[in-house]
Structure 1
Amino acid sequence: MQLYFGSLTVVVGSSVEMAKVFLKSMDINFVDRPKMAAGKYTAYNYSDITWSPYGPYWRQARRMCVMELFSPKRLDWFEYIRAEELHSLLHDLNKLSGKPILLKDYLTTLSLNIISRMVLGKKYANESHNSIKDKLTEMVWLNGVLNSGAGD
């Protein structure tokens, strides 16, 4: 099924078989992402692995991520970080039992702590690093915003 969201064309594969066709046989036709505001303003004009166009740079960045960050061995090695951060989150939420909370803030902190510890070796999401959390929140918000000046 093909849909039009304004000037953006979206193809929907509504079955497992069609998803396999899109992701395996026709992946080169669907590899590029639409130009979104997040890619332009938070990823240095579409230059990170998430937003860069398909080509030699993207393939090398993907290869490095697969080999260094997302390999099964590396993910197993970092499992303790995910467990520690989840335990910390649950401990904090338990202390606030019965009080209203904004879960989004806690999940943002959890994600940022896990990512920063895995990639940088240090926890960055705490009260003195709210600007990092603010940038992450802005990036997530911008991911849903189309960039009408994509050709800029």
Structure 2
Amino acid sequence: ITMLTWTISPKVGSPCSLVYRADTNMTNRINCSDNLNLTFIPGLAPALEIQQVGIAQEGNYTCEMVSTHGNFHTTYHLTVLVPPRPSLYCGQQGSPVCEAAVGKPPAQLSWVPESSSTAEEKGHDNGTVTVLSRFSAGNTSMTSMTNVTTCMVSHPAGNWNESIAC
């Protein structure tokens, strides 16, 4: 490797670059925060290290390598998952309310028994979404003569379910 450049183009904020030159064994940091570094392991190419990954690090990461064999580049897209904070409680009308707070992407909510309710989504400034669903029995008859209802939260970062009787 003669030279290695990582160019980071975050979804929010200004781009930055880390440039390593083998002839000087120096890394030049251009507009990058301290949580982005090149790490060096003997026998391997320098690797990009991102410490404390969060939503602010989302974006495109392009690596360009110059060597005696030619110039090579590849781009990676970093997406950060934020697991929602699920909760289930009895609402003011005495029916179950399920909430999956501040998740990314938005969680999917479903009910057992099935409900005709629709989920409400509220977006937050940091890119997360809170999803709220109020159970609506409609024509559904409760099973086993109980009014136990289960909320199921589905999310790429994990699934959750809880039951309640209101």
Q: Say whether the fold is shared (TM-score over 0.5).
A: no
Identify, as 1 or 2, the structure richer in helix.
1
What is the TM-score with the length of structure 1 in the denominator?
0.18
What is the TM-score with the length of structure 2 in the denominator?
0.17
Task: Name which structure has the greater RCO, CA cutoff 8 Å, separation 6+.
Answer: 1
